[in-house]
Amino acid sequence: MTDQVREILGYYDGERPGVKANLARLLMQGRLAGSGKLVILPVDQGFEHGPARSFAANPAAYDPRYVFDLAIAAGLSALAAPLGLLAAGADRFAGEIPLILKANNANALGTIKDEAITATVRDALELGCSAIGYTIYPGSDRQYDMFEEVRVGAAEAKANGLAVVIWAYPRGGNLSSEAETALDVVAYGAHIAALLGAHIIKVKPPTAMVAEPEAKAAYAPRAAEFTQLSRRIAHVVQAAFDGRRIVIFSGGPARADAAVLDEVRAIRDGGGFGSIIGRNAFQRPREEALVLLDQIVRIHLGQDR
């Protein structure tokens, strides 16, 4: 145990010891162990976008065992995925990497912005998971039902010693596609996730746009400051209880290495707790993915300066 991890665990005053033990398990895993940072491999895109859109670029990734091996070989903090994928590898790779069960999911075939509950706390316990995760869509027509579903699932997870991860993705309702990643909207989503009891919050890196008319006056004095991504990252972390909740940032669609790494540097410089990198990892051939993940880990460790 390191001073950095002890400090982070101290952010969760009054939490159950089992939950803190699982947070420590995530924070003490892999190459980032003890640093207070996380790099997580999420593989829920097959559910969200379909198998070909997710895996055709690197057919090896159709096999769940491949993504287990990739996360372990890269020395990552955890693997996050839906029930079936984790069940296909949790036995073979038992104890080699912490698992996060993604317990609600959407698909690209429907017309409503929603996620169905696809797994339970019992599933997470049987798989040996350290945490359970839920997506919420602040702003959508279904947001309040989603909040209630997360409340029920999070309460059961905590009672059983599991940490809770919330993917906070504002969308739907009156939000345009550009507004979904606006600075004020991303910060609002992170704050809602913290209020719902998340231990770890996943959001998208925000743009400099301020979308909500009522919020513009609050942001106007710092508009010049927020032209820098690192400052926007710092603001989103501030929105999550003044940095007393772990906030990690998604990697988005597959892009050139330089763009991914520049964004990771801004996340680090802004005080983000790490990255959750999916398509930019498993859509590359294994050796290329390992090189990129190595660079991401070294950035978060401050070893690229």
pLDDT tens digits, residue range 267-299?
999 999 999 999 999 999 999 999 999 999 999
Lowest-confidence region among 102-111, 146-155, 220-229, 263-272: 102-111
Show the beta-strand stretches assigned E in 103-227. 104-105, 116-117, 131-136, 163-168, 200-203
Total tally of structural domains belonging to the chain? 1
Predicted pLDDT of residue 195 = 98
The mean per-residue pLDDT over the stretch 244-256 comes to 92
The Cα diameter of the chain in Å comes to 54
Structure tokens at 302: 């401050």
Backbone torsions φ then ψ of 42, nearest 5 degrees = -100, 135
Mean pLDDT confidence for 110-126: 92
Tokens of 3: 């001073």
With b for 16 or more beta-carbon neighbours within 10 A and e for fewer, the 255-277 pattern comes to eeeeebbebbbbbbebebbbbbb
Q: What is the pLDDT of residue 173?
A: 87
pLDDT over 70 percentage in the chain: 100
47 falls within a domain:
yes
Which of the four pLDDT bands, split at 50, 70 and 90, describes residue 226? very high
CATH number at residue 266: 3.20.20.70
In degrees and rounded to multiples of 5, residue 62 shows phi and psi of -60, -30
Q: What is the mean pLDDT of residues 192-202?
A: 98
Q: Which residue has the tokens 């910060």?
A: 187
Q: Report pLDDT for 112.
A: 79
Q: Does some domain include residue 138?
A: yes
Element (H, E) at 12: none
pLDDT tier for residue 305 given thresholds of 50, 70 and 90 = low
In the Cβ-directed half-sphere of 256, how many Cα atoms lie within 13 Å?
Answer: 3
The alpha-helical segments, DSSP class H, found in 133-251 are 143-159, 183-195, 216-219, 229-239
pLDDT at 294: 98
Residue 34 located in a structural domain: yes
Active-site positions?
202
Report if residue 96 sits inside a domain. yes
Could you tell me how many residues make up the chain? 305
Residue 16 lies in a domain: yes
Report the candidate in 139, 31, 137 with the shortest Cα–Cα distance to residue 78.
31
Does residue 27 belong to any structural domain of this protein? yes
- Structure tokens, 87: 């069940």
- pLDDT tens-digit series, residues 4-60: 999 999 999 999 999 999 999 999 999 999 999 999 999 999 999 999 999 999 999
123 by DSSP, 3-state: which?
A: helix
Confidence of residue 204 (pLDDT cuts 50, 70, 90): very high
Does residue 113 register a pLDDT over 80?
no
Tokens 């994928």 correspond to: 85
* 305 domain-assigned: no
| Count of CA atoms in the C-beta half-sphere (13 A) of 213 | 1
Q: What are the beta bridge partners of residue 219?
A: none
A 10 A CB-CB count for 223 gives 12
The CA distance from 135 to 103, in Å, is 8
Tell me if 253 is assigned to some domain: yes
Q: What is the pLDDT at residue 196?
A: 98
- Domain extent, residue 186, equals 3-300
The pLDDT value given to residue 110: 83
**Across 159-169, average pLDDT:** 98
CA count, 13 A, side-chain hemisphere, 85: 27
**pLDDT band at 114, cuts 50/70/90?**
confident
Mean pLDDT of the chain: 96
pLDDT confidence band for 72 (50 / 70 / 90): very high
For 42-56, what is each residue's pLDDT tens digit? Answer: 999 999 999 999 999
H/E segment holding residue 41: strand 38-42
Q: Are 180 and 170 in contact (CB under 8 A)?
A: yes
pLDDT band at 304 (very low <50, low <70, confident <90, very high): confident
